[in-house]
C-alpha cells in the first residue's frame, strides 16, 4: 500500500511539474518578445536628441511670471579653452539686464566680468530665444570687450532650464579681430 501511495504522489508531482512548465513557457516567451520589440528602430545620436529637445515646447511651462534667472555654465572660448561662468539676469517684460562672470576654473581665476542688456525674440511656452549685447573687461587680454550673443533656453521644470548660447567677443585696445564664436551651455533656475 505504501508503494502505491508513493507512486501516486510521484505521478501527481511529475504531472504538476509538467503542467507548470508548460504554463511558464508561454509567459517567458511573451515577456522576451515584448522587450525585444520595444527597442527604437533607429536610435538618435546626441545632436539629434539635443535638437529635438530645443525645438519642441512643453506646454506645461512658460516664461511668463519669471523675473530672475540664475545660471551656471561653460563657454568654449574662441576654439582655445573652456571657461566656467555664473550669470544672473533680471527680466523686465521682454527686456533683460544681465551680469556675467567667467573664470578659468583654476583657483577661481577670473577671466572676465560683463554686464549687458537683452531682448526676448521668441517666448513660446517652455522655449525662449534671446538676443543681447554684453560689455565688460577681459582680464586675460587686458582689454575691454563687447559681446553680441544669442541664447536659447528651454525649461526642464517650472523653475529649472537648460540653455545654449553663441556669442562673438570683440576686444578693444589693439587686440586682433575675433572671427571664431564662443559656444556656451548652461543650466539654471528661475524665480
pLDDT at 162: 94
Least confident piece of the model among 9-23, 122-136, 175-189: 9-23
Sign of CA dihedral 22, 27, 30, 36: negative
Distances (CA, A) of 111 to 74, 123, 131: 12, 31, 23
100-155 pLDDT, tens digit each: 999 987 777 888 999 999 999 999 999 999 999 999 998 888 889 999 999 999 99
Task: Say if residue 68's pLDDT is above 80.
Answer: yes
Q: Which cell numbers in the block locate residue 178? A: 575675433
Sign of CA dihedral 31, 33, 34, 40: positive
Higher-pLDDT residue of 26, 12: 12
- Mean pLDDT calculated for residue range 66-73: 95
Instruction: Check if the beta carbon of residue 115 is closer than 8 Å to that of residue 98.
Output: yes
Characterise 120 by phi-psi region: left (phi > 0), alpha (psi -120 to 50), beta (else): beta
pLDDT at 46: 75
Closest CA to 165 of 117, 128, 136, 191: 128
pLDDT at 15: 52
Instruction: Check if the beta carbon of residue 53 is closer than 8 Å to that of residue 162.
Output: yes
Highest-confidence segment of 6-15, 75-84, 160-169, 170-179:
160-169
72-111 pLDDT, tens digit each: 999 887 656 788 999 999 999 999 999 999 998 777 788 8
> Is the pTM above the cut of 0.85?
no
Distances (CA, A) of 165 to 81, 150, 155: 16, 6, 15
Q: Which cell numbers in the block locate residue 101? A: 562672470
Amino acid at each position: 500500500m505504501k508503494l502505491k501511495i508513493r507512486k501516486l504522489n510521484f505521478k501527481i508531482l511529475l504531472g504538476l511539474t509538467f503542467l507548470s512548465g508548460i504554463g511558464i513557457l508561454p509567459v517567458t516567451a511573451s515577456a522576451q518578445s515584448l522587450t525585444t520589440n520595444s527597442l527604437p528602430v533607429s536610435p538618435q545620436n546626441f545632436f539629434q536628441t539635443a535638437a529635438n529637445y530645443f525645438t519642441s515646447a512643453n506646454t506645461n511651462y512658460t516664461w511668463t511670471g519669471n523675473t530672475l534667472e540664475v545660471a551656471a555654465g561653460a563657454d568654449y572660448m574662441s576654439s582655445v579653452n573652456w571657461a566656467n561662468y555664473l550669470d544672473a539676469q533680471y527680466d523686465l517684460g521682454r527686456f533683460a539686464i544681465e551680469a556675467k562672470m567667467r573664470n578659468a576654473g583654476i583657483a577661481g581665476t577670473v577671466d572676465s566680468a560683463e554686464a549687458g542688456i537683452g531682448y526676448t525674440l521668441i517666448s513660446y511656452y517652455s522655449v525662449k530665444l534671446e538676443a543681447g549685447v554684453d560689455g565688460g573687461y577681459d582680464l586675460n587680454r587686458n582689454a575691454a570687450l563687447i559681446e553680441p550673443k544669442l541664447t536659447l533656453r528651454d525649461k526642464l521644470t517650472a523653475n529649472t532650464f537648460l540653455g545654449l548660447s553663441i556669442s562673438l567677443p570683440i576686444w578693444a585696445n589693439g587686440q586682433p579681430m575675433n572671427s571664431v564664436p564662443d559656444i556656451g551651455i548652461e543650466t539654471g533656475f528661475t524665480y
